[in-house]
Amino acid sequence: STDFDAMSPIDLIRPPRRAAWLALVAGCTLWLAGCASPAIEEARRQSARGEQEAALRTLAQAAQTRPQDRELRSALAAQRDLTVADLVARADALRASGQRDAMADVLQRLEQAAPNHPRVAWLRTELARGERHARLMQDGDAALAAQAYDKAEVAYRAVLSENPGHQQARQQLNRIEAL
């Protein structure tokens, strides 16, 4: 006599059919695993092509429809980190090269990707500082052209107080001192 309670459901299948059934279950499991996250696969392809923001959008949309999917949430967090790193590097390079308009565009995209990221606030401050320095340099240049040397000197020194390495302000200040 066989104790049916001690047997697993697999043991109840006759041996010749058991192998076929196990192969079917394994195949279905693999098929379901491959189909479980097409958004992740698409995001990986997008990321590999350098389309970090598109990959982030793909995963965010999928996560909205499947908020309990841990694999998806994990992929979304990793992609957000990758996207933020990419955008921060771009914004920093644009800041260093003085391309404030392009930096503002990248900063806006960064704010959409990760609004509470600490680098967003820092880059926003750097953008405002660059714009302030540009205005001060214009004021200083206008004052220098009008031979209002004291006013020009104040503008250039204000820029140098925040950015001692600002070469144009240093050059203009040296010009004034040579007069």
Q: Which residues of 91-122 are buried (b: 16+ CB within 10 A; e: fewer)?
A: bbebbeeeebeebbebbeebbebbeebebbee
Q: Take residue 57 and report the two structure tokens written for it.
A: 């959008």
Residues of the chain above pLDDT 90, percent? 70
pLDDT of 108 over the 50 cut: yes
- 45-85: pLDDT as tens digits: 999 999 999 999 999 999 999 999 999 999 999 999 999 99
pLDDT of 15 over the 80 cut: no
Q: What is the mean pLDDT of residues 110-118?
A: 90
* Spatial contact of 95 and 106, defined as CB atoms under 8 Å apart: no
Residue 68 is predicted with a pLDDT of 93
Residue 44 is predicted with a pLDDT of 94
pTM: 0.66
Instruction: Provide the pLDDT confidence category of residue 8 given band limits of 50, 70 and 90.
Output: very low
Residue 31 is predicted with a pLDDT of 41
Nearest to 80 by CA among 115, 123, 104, 125: 115
Residue 6 is predicted with a pLDDT of 52
Highest mean pLDDT among 11-15, 19-23, 159-163: 159-163
Helices (H), 36-166: 38-48, 52-65, 70-96, 100-113, 118-145, 149-162
Residue 43 is predicted with a pLDDT of 95
